[in-house]
Structure 1
Amino acid sequence: MSEFRWPVRVYYEDTDAGGIVYYANYLKFFERARTEWLRQLGFNQELLRQQGILFVVREVNAKYKQPARLDDELQVSVAVEKMGKASFNIVQTVYRVSSEEEQTLVSGSVSIACIDDKGKPRIIPADILSAV
Protein backbone atom coordinates (compact mmCIF):
# COMPACT_ATOMS: atom_id res chain seq x y z
CA MET A 1 0.00 0.00 0.00
CA SER A 2 1.14 3.51 -0.63
CA GLU A 3 1.51 6.19 1.99
CA PHE A 4 -1.71 7.20 3.76
CA ARG A 5 -2.06 10.73 5.15
CA TRP A 6 -4.40 12.14 7.76
CA PRO A 7 -4.86 15.89 8.45
CA VAL A 8 -4.42 17.22 11.99
CA ARG A 9 -4.75 20.79 13.22
CA VAL A 10 -2.85 21.88 16.32
CA TYR A 11 -5.16 23.08 19.09
CA TYR A 12 -4.29 24.90 22.29
CA GLU A 13 -4.65 21.67 24.27
CA ASP A 14 -1.85 20.12 22.18
CA THR A 15 0.71 22.74 23.17
CA ASP A 16 2.95 23.27 26.17
CA ALA A 17 3.66 26.48 28.09
CA GLY A 18 5.99 27.60 25.28
CA GLY A 19 3.23 27.40 22.67
CA ILE A 20 4.68 24.42 20.82
CA VAL A 21 3.25 20.92 20.53
CA TYR A 22 4.14 18.88 23.61
CA TYR A 23 6.40 16.02 22.50
CA ALA A 24 4.12 13.18 23.68
CA ASN A 25 1.21 14.53 21.64
CA TYR A 26 2.95 13.52 18.43
CA LEU A 27 2.39 9.92 19.52
CA LYS A 28 -1.32 10.73 19.75
CA PHE A 29 -1.17 12.15 16.23
CA PHE A 30 0.52 8.91 15.09
CA GLU A 31 -2.26 6.88 16.75
CA ARG A 32 -5.05 8.89 15.13
CA ALA A 33 -3.50 8.45 11.70
CA ARG A 34 -3.11 4.68 12.19
CA THR A 35 -6.75 4.41 13.30
CA GLU A 36 -7.95 6.34 10.24
CA TRP A 37 -5.65 4.31 8.00
CA LEU A 38 -7.29 1.10 9.24
CA ARG A 39 -10.74 2.67 8.84
CA GLN A 40 -9.88 3.66 5.26
CA LEU A 41 -8.90 0.04 4.60
CA GLY A 42 -12.34 -0.99 5.86
CA PHE A 43 -11.49 -2.08 9.41
CA ASN A 44 -13.09 -0.50 12.47
CA GLN A 45 -11.01 -1.08 15.59
CA GLU A 46 -14.05 -1.51 17.83
CA LEU A 47 -15.47 -4.21 15.55
CA LEU A 48 -12.06 -5.88 15.44
CA ARG A 49 -11.92 -5.78 19.25
CA GLN A 50 -15.33 -7.48 19.43
CA GLN A 51 -13.84 -10.26 17.28
CA GLY A 52 -10.85 -10.62 19.61
CA ILE A 53 -8.43 -8.83 17.28
CA LEU A 54 -6.41 -6.08 18.94
CA PHE A 55 -3.45 -4.11 17.65
CA VAL A 56 -1.06 -2.84 20.31
CA VAL A 57 2.14 -0.83 20.14
CA ARG A 58 5.22 -2.90 20.99
CA GLU A 59 7.82 -0.25 20.34
CA VAL A 60 7.97 3.33 19.13
CA ASN A 61 10.86 5.52 18.08
CA ALA A 62 10.49 9.20 17.24
CA LYS A 63 12.94 11.79 15.97
CA TYR A 64 11.91 15.39 16.55
CA LYS A 65 13.23 17.78 13.90
CA GLN A 66 11.11 20.95 14.09
CA PRO A 67 8.30 22.06 16.44
CA ALA A 68 4.68 22.41 15.45
CA ARG A 69 2.81 25.41 16.85
CA LEU A 70 -0.71 26.43 17.71
CA ASP A 71 -3.07 26.40 14.69
CA ASP A 72 -0.56 24.69 12.36
CA GLU A 73 -2.07 22.45 9.71
CA LEU A 74 -0.32 19.10 9.81
CA GLN A 75 -0.49 15.84 7.94
CA VAL A 76 0.47 12.55 9.54
CA SER A 77 1.55 9.73 7.27
CA VAL A 78 1.35 5.97 7.66
CA ALA A 79 3.37 3.58 5.51
CA VAL A 80 3.88 -0.12 6.16
CA GLU A 81 7.54 -0.99 6.24
CA LYS A 82 7.38 -4.70 7.03
CA MET A 83 4.60 -7.24 7.54
CA GLY A 84 4.91 -10.36 9.64
CA LYS A 85 2.42 -13.06 10.61
CA ALA A 86 1.49 -11.48 13.94
CA SER A 87 3.12 -8.06 13.78
CA PHE A 88 4.09 -5.26 11.44
CA ASN A 89 6.27 -2.17 11.36
CA ILE A 90 5.04 1.23 10.26
CA VAL A 91 6.94 4.37 9.35
CA GLN A 92 5.14 7.57 10.33
CA THR A 93 5.91 11.20 9.63
CA VAL A 94 4.33 14.47 10.76
CA TYR A 95 4.49 17.25 8.17
CA ARG A 96 3.61 20.93 8.46
CA VAL A 97 1.73 21.83 5.30
CA SER A 98 1.51 25.31 3.88
CA SER A 99 0.86 26.72 0.43
CA GLU A 100 4.59 27.31 -0.03
CA GLU A 101 6.11 24.08 1.29
CA GLU A 102 5.88 20.85 3.23
CA GLN A 103 8.22 20.52 6.20
CA THR A 104 9.03 17.30 8.07
CA LEU A 105 8.59 17.87 11.81
CA VAL A 106 8.72 14.39 13.33
CA SER A 107 9.57 11.02 11.86
CA GLY A 108 9.22 7.72 13.59
CA SER A 109 8.75 4.00 13.45
CA VAL A 110 6.12 1.99 15.27
CA SER A 111 6.08 -1.76 15.83
CA ILE A 112 2.54 -3.14 16.14
CA ALA A 113 1.56 -6.57 17.47
CA CYS A 114 -1.71 -8.38 16.91
CA ILE A 115 -3.09 -9.95 20.08
CA ASP A 116 -6.30 -11.62 21.19
CA ASP A 117 -8.61 -10.45 23.96
CA LYS A 118 -6.49 -12.33 26.53
CA GLY A 119 -3.33 -10.49 25.49
CA LYS A 120 -1.76 -13.42 23.65
CA PRO A 121 -0.18 -13.02 20.20
CA ARG A 122 -2.38 -14.03 17.29
CA ILE A 123 -1.97 -14.23 13.55
CA ILE A 124 -3.17 -11.16 11.66
CA PRO A 125 -6.34 -12.18 9.76
CA ALA A 126 -5.86 -12.77 6.02
CA ASP A 127 -8.34 -10.05 5.00
CA ILE A 128 -6.31 -7.45 6.87
CA LEU A 129 -3.02 -8.73 5.47
CA SER A 130 -4.35 -8.61 1.91
CA ALA A 131 -5.70 -5.06 2.39
CA VAL A 132 -2.39 -3.73 3.66
Structure 2
Amino acid sequence: MDSNTQDKAPEVWHKTRMRVPLFEVDIGQAVYHGNYYHLFELAREDFLRELGYPYRWFMDRQLHLTIVEASCTYRKSLRYDDLIEIHTGIQWWRTRSLAFSQIIYRCEEEENPVLCTRAILNMVCVRFSGQPTILPAEFVDLLRDWVGKRG
Protein backbone atom coordinates (compact mmCIF):
# COMPACT_ATOMS: atom_id res chain seq x y z
CA MET A 1 0.00 0.00 0.00
CA ASP A 2 1.26 3.47 -0.74
CA SER A 3 1.21 6.56 1.42
CA ASN A 4 -1.89 7.89 -0.39
CA THR A 5 -3.96 5.34 1.51
CA GLN A 6 -2.91 6.69 4.93
CA ASP A 7 -6.03 8.79 5.43
CA LYS A 8 -8.43 6.48 3.60
CA ALA A 9 -10.52 4.11 5.73
CA PRO A 10 -9.97 0.40 5.10
CA GLU A 11 -12.37 -1.19 2.63
CA VAL A 12 -12.06 -4.61 4.28
CA TRP A 13 -12.79 -5.35 7.93
CA HIS A 14 -12.31 -8.37 10.15
CA LYS A 15 -15.03 -8.65 12.81
CA THR A 16 -14.61 -9.97 16.34
CA ARG A 17 -17.64 -10.41 18.56
CA MET A 18 -17.43 -10.65 22.34
CA ARG A 19 -19.01 -9.52 25.56
CA VAL A 20 -17.30 -6.90 27.71
CA PRO A 21 -15.67 -8.85 30.56
CA LEU A 22 -16.13 -7.82 34.18
CA PHE A 23 -12.41 -7.26 34.75
CA GLU A 24 -12.41 -4.38 32.22
CA VAL A 25 -14.93 -2.19 34.07
CA ASP A 26 -14.23 0.34 36.81
CA ILE A 27 -16.19 1.23 39.91
CA GLY A 28 -18.47 3.39 37.76
CA GLN A 29 -19.40 0.17 35.92
CA ALA A 30 -18.01 1.39 32.58
CA VAL A 31 -14.90 0.26 30.74
CA TYR A 32 -11.96 2.34 31.95
CA HIS A 33 -10.60 4.38 29.02
CA GLY A 34 -7.19 2.64 29.01
CA ASN A 35 -8.80 -0.79 28.97
CA TYR A 36 -10.25 -0.26 25.50
CA TYR A 37 -6.75 -1.06 24.27
CA HIS A 38 -7.12 -4.57 25.75
CA LEU A 39 -10.22 -5.07 23.63
CA PHE A 40 -8.43 -3.76 20.54
CA GLU A 41 -5.54 -6.15 21.20
CA LEU A 42 -7.85 -9.16 21.51
CA ALA A 43 -9.44 -8.24 18.18
CA ARG A 44 -6.04 -7.77 16.48
CA GLU A 45 -4.96 -11.21 17.68
CA ASP A 46 -8.20 -12.68 16.33
CA PHE A 47 -7.58 -10.94 13.00
CA LEU A 48 -4.01 -12.27 12.78
CA ARG A 49 -5.21 -15.82 13.49
CA GLU A 50 -7.80 -15.58 10.72
CA LEU A 51 -5.20 -14.05 8.41
CA GLY A 52 -3.09 -17.19 8.91
CA TYR A 53 -0.25 -15.46 10.74
CA PRO A 54 -0.95 -15.70 14.49
CA TYR A 55 1.01 -13.32 16.71
CA ARG A 56 2.91 -16.33 18.08
CA TRP A 57 4.70 -16.48 14.70
CA PHE A 58 6.09 -12.97 15.26
CA MET A 59 7.28 -14.03 18.70
CA ASP A 60 8.80 -17.28 17.38
CA ARG A 61 10.93 -15.08 15.08
CA GLN A 62 11.82 -12.81 18.02
CA LEU A 63 9.73 -10.02 16.52
CA HIS A 64 7.14 -7.73 18.00
CA LEU A 65 4.74 -5.13 16.59
CA THR A 66 5.32 -2.08 18.79
CA ILE A 67 2.78 0.72 18.96
CA VAL A 68 4.53 3.99 18.14
CA GLU A 69 1.45 6.17 17.80
CA ALA A 70 -2.14 5.72 18.92
CA SER A 71 -5.22 7.87 18.61
CA CYS A 72 -8.56 6.95 20.11
CA THR A 73 -11.95 8.64 20.01
CA TYR A 74 -14.49 7.68 22.66
CA ARG A 75 -18.10 8.31 21.71
CA LYS A 76 -20.25 6.02 23.89
CA SER A 77 -19.35 4.12 27.05
CA LEU A 78 -19.14 0.36 27.16
CA ARG A 79 -20.41 -1.50 30.19
CA TYR A 80 -20.01 -4.96 31.63
CA ASP A 81 -21.63 -7.68 29.50
CA ASP A 82 -22.37 -5.42 26.51
CA LEU A 83 -22.29 -7.45 23.32
CA ILE A 84 -19.73 -5.71 21.11
CA GLU A 85 -18.26 -6.16 17.67
CA ILE A 86 -14.76 -4.91 16.98
CA HIS A 87 -13.90 -4.19 13.37
CA THR A 88 -10.21 -4.39 12.50
CA GLY A 89 -8.77 -3.18 9.22
CA ILE A 90 -5.39 -2.35 7.79
CA GLN A 91 -5.08 1.37 7.18
CA TRP A 92 -1.71 1.03 5.39
CA TRP A 93 1.56 -0.87 5.50
CA ARG A 94 5.12 -0.23 4.48
CA THR A 95 8.37 -2.18 4.72
CA ARG A 96 8.70 -1.97 8.53
CA SER A 97 5.41 -0.55 9.72
CA LEU A 98 1.65 -0.72 9.45
CA ALA A 99 -1.44 0.90 10.88
CA PHE A 100 -4.50 -0.85 12.22
CA SER A 101 -7.83 0.94 12.15
CA GLN A 102 -10.24 -0.43 14.76
CA ILE A 103 -13.83 0.41 15.61
CA ILE A 104 -15.95 -0.89 18.49
CA TYR A 105 -19.71 -1.13 18.03
CA ARG A 106 -22.24 -2.06 20.69
CA CYS A 107 -24.71 -4.56 19.22
CA GLU A 108 -27.98 -3.28 20.67
CA GLU A 109 -29.88 -4.09 17.51
CA GLU A 110 -28.51 -6.27 14.73
CA GLU A 111 -29.41 -3.73 12.05
CA ASN A 112 -28.22 -0.65 13.95
CA PRO A 113 -24.98 -1.19 15.85
CA VAL A 114 -23.91 1.81 17.95
CA LEU A 115 -20.49 3.32 17.26
CA CYS A 116 -18.68 3.54 20.60
CA THR A 117 -14.95 3.88 20.01
CA ARG A 118 -12.55 4.33 17.12
CA ALA A 119 -8.76 3.97 17.16
CA ILE A 120 -5.82 4.04 14.79
CA LEU A 121 -2.65 2.30 15.95
CA ASN A 122 0.60 2.82 14.06
CA MET A 123 3.04 -0.01 14.67
CA VAL A 124 6.64 -0.78 13.83
CA CYS A 125 8.12 -4.26 13.56
CA VAL A 126 11.04 -4.60 15.98
CA ARG A 127 13.34 -7.37 17.09
CA PHE A 128 13.30 -8.36 20.76
CA SER A 129 16.48 -6.25 21.02
CA GLY A 130 14.37 -3.18 20.11
CA GLN A 131 15.96 -2.72 16.68
CA PRO A 132 13.42 -1.93 13.90
CA THR A 133 13.29 -4.52 11.15
CA ILE A 134 11.23 -5.36 8.08
CA LEU A 135 7.86 -7.06 8.33
CA PRO A 136 8.11 -10.78 7.50
CA ALA A 137 7.52 -11.34 3.78
CA GLU A 138 4.99 -14.13 4.47
CA PHE A 139 3.00 -11.75 6.63
CA VAL A 140 2.98 -9.02 3.95
CA ASP A 141 1.91 -11.57 1.32
CA LEU A 142 -1.00 -12.67 3.53
CA LEU A 143 -2.01 -9.02 4.10
CA ARG A 144 -1.96 -8.36 0.36
CA ASP A 145 -4.05 -11.49 -0.33
CA TRP A 146 -6.52 -10.67 2.46
CA VAL A 147 -7.10 -7.12 1.22
CA GLY A 148 -7.28 -8.32 -2.41
CA LYS A 149 -9.78 -11.13 -1.79
CA ARG A 150 -12.13 -9.02 0.27
CA GLY A 151 -11.64 -5.58 -1.23
Alignment TM-score > 0.5, same fold? yes
- Consecutive unaligned residues in structure 1, runs of 5 or more: none
User: What displacement does 1:130 show?
Assistant: 1.5
Residue in 2 that maps onto 1:115: 126
Percent identity between the two aligned chains: 24
User: What displacement does 1:99 show?
Assistant: 2.9
Q: Of 17, 20, 23, which residue of structure 1 is paired with 2:33? A: 23
Residue in 1 that maps onto 2:148: none
Do structure 1's residue 87 and structure 2's residue 97 form an aligned pair?
Answer: yes
Q: Secondary structure at the match of 1:24?
A: helix
The one-letter code of the counterpart of 1:15 is V
TM-score, normalised via structure 2 length: 0.82
Do structure 1's residue 66 and structure 2's residue 76 form an aligned pair?
Answer: yes
Residue in 2 that maps onto 1:3: 13
User: What displacement does 1:46 show?
Assistant: 2.1
Instruction: Give the root-mean-square deviation of aligned CA atoms.
Output: 1.4
The one-letter code of the counterpart of 1:16 is D
Give the strand-richer structure, 1 or 2: 1
The one-letter code of the counterpart of 1:103 is V
Q: How far apart, in 2, do the equivalents of 1:82 and 1:68 lie?
A: 28
Do structure 1's residue 126 and structure 2's residue 134 form an aligned pair?
Answer: no
8 Å CA contact 1:8–1:29 kept in 2: the answer is no
User: What displacement does 1:69 show?
Assistant: 1.2
Residue in 2 that maps onto 1:14: 24
Give the helix-richer structure, 1 or 2: 2
Q: How far apart, in 2, do the equivalents of 1:45 and 1:7 lie?
A: 19
8 Å CA contact 1:75–1:97 kept in 2: the answer is yes
- Consecutive unaligned residues in structure 2, runs of 5 or more: 1-10, 144-151
Show the 5 A alignment for 1:95-114: 95-100=105-110, 101-114=112-125
TM-score, normalised via structure 1 length: 0.93
Q: How far apart, in 1, do the equivalents of 2:63 and 2:30 lie?
A: 36
Structure 1 stretches of 4+ with a deviation exceeding 3 A read none
